Structure 1
Amino acid sequence: MSRHGLVRESSLLQRRLESLNAARELAEGVLPDPDLQSVYEVLERATSRRSLSADHTVVGFFGATGSGKSSLFNAVSDSSLATATARRPTTSAPLAGIWGEEGSGPLLDWLDVKERHTLPPVPGLAEENTGLVLLDLPDFDSTRVENREIVQRMVGMVDVLVWVLDPQKYADATVHHDFLRPMASHGAVTLVVLNQMDKLNTADAAAVMQSLEGILAGDGLGKVRVLGASALTGDGVQSLRAVIRKVVVQREATTERLAADVAKAAVELAKASGEGEARGVKGGTKARLASELSTAANVPVVVDAVHRSFKRESAKRTGWPVTRWLLRFRPDPLRRLNLGRDDTRPELNRTSLPPAGAPERARTDAAVRDFADDASAGAPGPWRAAIRSAARDGREELPDALDQAIAGTDLLAGKRPLWWLLFNTLQWIALVLAAGGLGWLGVLAALGYFQMPVPEVPRTEGWPWPTLMVAGGVVLGIALAITGRILGGWAARARASRAAKRLKAAVAAVAEQRIVEPVEVEITRLKAFNAALKAARPG
């Protein structure tokens, strides 16, 4: 691949790594920690590998006991390094053959490969500075736990995996179930070599190769390159060298390996999460939630109190002055609820509404649950649980928040209609008129009682003015009181309606802050997670 192509692939890989990391961060607290930890390890390995030599390709030879893996390593590298390892005190340490030592040190330190050998050029495989690192690794079916751990670690770290199988154990479940099948997504950086082909005749060799390819297809590696070879006779060794050389020269293996790691991690993260998007918050569900919370928070009780309080105050302001004082003995419904006061700070005030009982709490819980269920419909299980949890967390704070919202709502209790002033003025004029007539009649009666001259009073249509004054004042006062009661009833309903709108808006604001917004945050997080996961997976 050209340098321009390598840069493009590297940039694409970087974007996919960033997307996978974004998905991991978004899923924290939603998906199980082990799933997120495995993704974090993939990201850490990718970051570490990309910070090391890009001029070296690490090819690891993996095989079971008796597969001839070390012999094939020697044949390919044209050396006897692996044979020499049998004389070492331990065979659990990996061994490296290097073509191009410069820059390989930190990479081999990261791989934890202690034994390193710089090898001379091998025709058809590598020149002196090709940048190839061949690793001979312990047997993956070793009875030593340390050996198996090394193999499992190296499977996740080398750039190219060469699986060396033999005709007797090529179908062994250990290699297929524990290694090849889980790495099915890494077919682009996987080679399978059937070694010891010298033990088979032509017909048997073809049958075994066909059987092996069928098993690999069942493992999800139907497109993987399968080669036959014999380390003893050298058959197929040159072909294997050519394949390895091509991989090294193209310098795509590291990027392809890491891309496969990201794809696999993204797929596993998707399995842990599940597929789907949440239905989301709709206007109708928000309105139903606010309506249910309004009822549970006793908004109808407050609205009724506003209605009765206005009617009471209207009667006090517009009723007949002779009887209106009796209303002072009737408590103000709003004041009884500790509402409608001008001498308290709303943010510190609390109502005297009855605390939420079992029915109110059940209604609140049901409303929040129904809202969360509707909003989370379609979301995968873990995310649906997270959305519901966000709604439940907000529900715990609702009672106090709703009470404070009601207490802080301006119920317009201090707003006095202008017609009250007009009616009140007319009532007092009527009372003064009636009182003046009574006083006039009283004076006339007193003069008559003391046998004093009684002056003639003015008359209209035969009716004396004092009498007309008394009758007119009383009739006017009663008429004003009746009219004021009718108008007060209409105005009370209008005032209660406006108060209901304000209260419901306050309750809706609390619902938005405590329930709706946390739920929307989780839904948005799910959308971002799905988008990041899609960007991290292959197109």
Structure 2
Amino acid sequence: MFRKKLSLTERLEALREATDLGEGLVSPAEHAALARVADAAAERRALSGEHTVVGFFGATGSGKTSLFNAVVGEDLGKTAARRPTTSSPLAAVWDPAGSEELLDWLQVEDRRNRTGDFAPGAGPVILLDLPDFDSVEPEHRAIATRLAGQVDVLVWVTDPEKYADSIIHDHFIRPHASHSSVTLAVLNKSDRLTAEDARRVSASLEQLLVDDGLKKVSVIRTSARDGSGIDDLRKAIAKVASAHSAQQARIEADLRTVTAPFVGRQSLKEPTATDKRRLDDHLAEAAGADRLAAATAAAYRKRLGQKTGWLLTSWLLRLRADPLKRLGLREDADETGVHRSSIPQLDASGRAVANRGVRGYAQAVSAGLPDRWASAVVDQTEQIVDSLPEDLDRAAARTKLPAQPSRAWGLFTVVQWLALVAALVGIGWYLLAAFLPGVLYPFMDEIIPDIEGWPIPTLLIVGGLLLGIVLGMFTGVFGLAIGSGVKHRTRRALRREVASISQEKVVEPLLAVRARYLEFLDAIRRAAGNAGN
């Protein structure tokens, strides 16, 4: 795939973005390195872009200062009574105009301006003689370490005795292994070796540099005493300076170094729909989906019985508490989210079920994340499980509960009343005939007529009572069947609310940590110079 080459400005912006995203989620040392490179690059670019800063680094006894003086062309130490040893940086400056702020940033106070040009076409150059990096004085080592991260060009000065010293390789050269394009390696005091030994030691040093990770770095053999190799070193410095790209090359090398630990990390596995469904299953169980569905179905049957049952017994149902009201639930969904149910808070078992679901999903989210990012997921998980009982209660309150029978059942209520009225008419008929027999005797045959031998009042009484009982039994059986559907719909509705709650309160916060890591990696890749077009 075609890759667009990012500008240095874009890469530094990406590094700053990665630094912000990684705060608290990468190790303090890694975050400090990211911030240091971002700050140093921004500060260096704001200062003189014309000057090339070249730092001479070496161990005690390597002849670094003598070599520095030889390259400068004068023993600058003789003119500085306050600098008997290389205890503080000394700068030799060619074309000093505009170098003051740069040297202030480098914290170099001892400055010696030079006349003329360092070399034809080299442009403004600043050479720094730095304290020995193996000094017993911690302050000296700190200065050398700091400036190794600030200068544009690094000149590593060794000698035949200490060229393989672990201090220079482990603590200085290897950490700057990606800086080959702005690194010069010098084997000083080569006059003490025979020509054959000098070639052998140079080859050995080159191999050590390759082992350190540097590429295409040749060793320049010098001697401050007889002047051999000094011109070669001056030409090498001038070549780097004349390209006027050392500053950018140094910053690019710093970017490669600081992003290297993160580039190439494996891609993450996306949490699956199965992971989300498993989470919802656990939360629905913890929220009491079955209990709520059963209560809704029971409330539906109770209300249907009250509405369509036999009027002589259905009133007894009103004496029983409504299952939903007992739980503090309403049929209508609470869209405001402020209503609380009276469902008991999750017990230990319910909490365990909910926590198991959340932690299982958190495990899927953190799969492949580095330890610190995975720990951030764990921390977020602990915050989530603390608020889960209230969230699940809110899910129950937000669920629309189909516990109210439809108005169509009102027809059965009308029929029940008609049946009761018919029975009462029959009873009243007989009472009238019984209490007023003398008055009604002449009309008895007409007052209590019959049909096929069955007195009409009897038919009204028996028919009204039987019709009421049969209708009550019918609607009761029918209510059981409908209640099963109500139970299913309620469970499904609560699961929808639980799924919404889990998405908002569990999935999104946990995925936010994962997304932040992916954004961090993307910023790191862009800082390293990689970006898709």
Count of equivalent residues: 525
> Is it true that 1:361 corresponds to 2:351 in the alignment?
yes
SS at match of 2:179: helix
1:528 aligned partner: 519
Q: Which residue of 2 aligns with 1:408?
A: 398
Distance 2:328 2:351 in 1: 22
1:258 CA displacement: 0.9
Query: Using a 3 Å threshold, how does the CA distance of structure 1 residues 213 and 129 change in structure 2: closer, same or farther?
Result: closer
1:171 alignment partner in structure 2? 164
84-93 vs 338-347, greater mean Cα deviation: 338-347
- In the alignment, structure 1 residue 197 sits paired with structure 2 residue 190: yes
CA deviations on 1:358-395 (whole Å, 9 max, x unpaired) are 11111111111111112222222222222232222211
Counterpart check, 1:56 vs 2:46: no
Aligned equivalent of 2:377: 387
After TM superposition, list the pairs within 5 Å mapping 1:28-427 onto structure 2. Answer: 28-85=23-80, 88=83, 91-121=86-116, 125-127=118-120, 130-268=123-261, 270=262, 275-340=265-330, 347-413=337-403, 415-427=404-416
Q: 1:484 maps to what in 2?
A: 475
- Look up the equivalent residue of 1:411 and give its one-letter code: L
**Contact 2:423–2:464 (8 Å) recurs in 1:** yes
Check whether the contact 1:277–1:380 (CA below 8 A) recurs between aligned residues: no
CA contact (8 A) 2:206 2:218 kept: no
Stretch moving more, 144-153 or 192-201: 144-153
- Per the alignment, in what secondary structure is the counterpart of residue 426 of structure 2? helix
**Worse-superposed segment, 503-512 or 252-261:** 503-512
SS class of match (1:43): helix
8 A Cα contact 1:62 1:163, kept in partner: yes
CA–CA distance in structure 2, aligned partners of residues 213 and 66 of structure 1: 21
What is the CA–CA distance in structure 1 between the aligned matches of 2:121 and 2:204, rounded to whole Å?
39
The residue identity in structure 2 corresponding to 1:33 is P
| 1:141-197 superposed Cα distances (whole Å, 9 cap, x missing partner) | 223332222111111111001111111221222212221122112121110111122
Query: In structure 2, what residue type is equivalent to 1:528?
Result: E
Unaligned runs of 5+ in 2: none
Are positions 1:519 and 2:514 aligned together?
no
Whole-angstrom CA distance in 2 between matches of 1:331 and 1:149: 80
Cα deviations across residues 496-533 of structure 1 (Å, max 9, x unaligned)? Answer: 22222221111111111111110111121111111111
Deviations 1:310-336 (A, max 9, x none): 111111110111111111222211121
SS of the equivalent of 1:223 reads coil
Aligned 8 A contact 2:77 2:83 in 1: no
What SS is found at the alignment partner of 1:134? strand
**What TM-score, normalized by structure 1, do the two folds share?**
0.92
Task: Pick which of 376-385 and 50-59 moved more.
Answer: 376-385
Q: Distance in 1 between matches of 2:33 and 2:411?
A: 80
Question: Matches of 2:336 and 2:222 in 1, distance apart?
Answer: 87
CA contact (8 A) 2:395 2:501 kept: yes
The letter for the 2-side match of 1:515 is V
Q: 1:352 to 1:32 in 2, by over 3 A?
A: same
Runs of 4+ in 1 over 4 A off after TM superposition: 341-346
- Of stretches 41-50 and 401-410 in structure 1, the one that deviates more from structure 2 is 401-410
Distance 1:383 1:212, change over 3 A: same
Question: Identity over the aligned pairs, expressed in percent?
Answer: 41
Deviation digits for residues 275-305 of structure 1 (CA, Å, limit 9, x no counterpart) = 3343233222112111111111112111101
Q: Specify the code of the residue in structure 2 equivalent to 1:365.
A: N
Q: What is the identity, as a one-letter code, of the residue corresponding to 2:56?
A: F
In 1, Cα distance between the equivalents of 2:333 and 2:134? 84
More deviation, 345-354/310-319: 345-354
CA distance in 1, matches of 2:46, 2:82: 35
* Preserved CA contact (<8 Å) 1:91 1:138: yes
CA distance in 2, matches of 1:308, 1:68: 96
CA distance in 2, matches of 1:331, 1:450: 51
Match of 1:459 in 2: 450
Counterparts of 1:101 and 1:462, CA distance in 2: 135
Shift of 1:460: 2.6
Provide the rounded CA distance (Å) in 2 between the counterparts of 1:449 and 1:328.
44
CA 1:489–1:104 in 2, change beyond 3 Å: closer, same or farther?
A: same
Question: What runs of 5+ residues in structure 1 fail to find an aligned partner?
Answer: 1-7
After superposition, the C-alpha distances for 1:98-146 in whole angstroms (9 at most, x for unaligned) are 1111111111111111122221235xx4259821111112222223332
Q: Residue 308 of structure 1 aligns to a residue in which SS?
A: helix
Distance 1:19 1:509, change over 3 A: same
Cα pair distance change 1:219/1:348, threshold 3 Å: closer
Give the Cα–Cα distance (whole angstroms) in 2 for the partners of residues 88 and 330 of structure 1: 100
Q: Within the alignment, does 1:444 sit opposite 2:439 as a pair? A: no
TM-superposed CA distance for 1:484, in Å, is 1.0
Contact (CA 8 Å) 2:332, 2:400: kept in 1 or not? no
- Taking a change above 3 Å as real, the CA distance of residues 58 and 332 of structure 1, as seen in their structure-2 partners, is same
RMSD: 2.3
Cα shift readout 1:67-87 (whole Å, capped 9, x = no counterpart): 221222122222221444477
CA shift for structure 1 position 55: 0.5
Q: Separation in 1 of the partners of 2:200 and 2:215?
A: 17
C-alpha distance in 1, partners of 2:82/2:353? 79
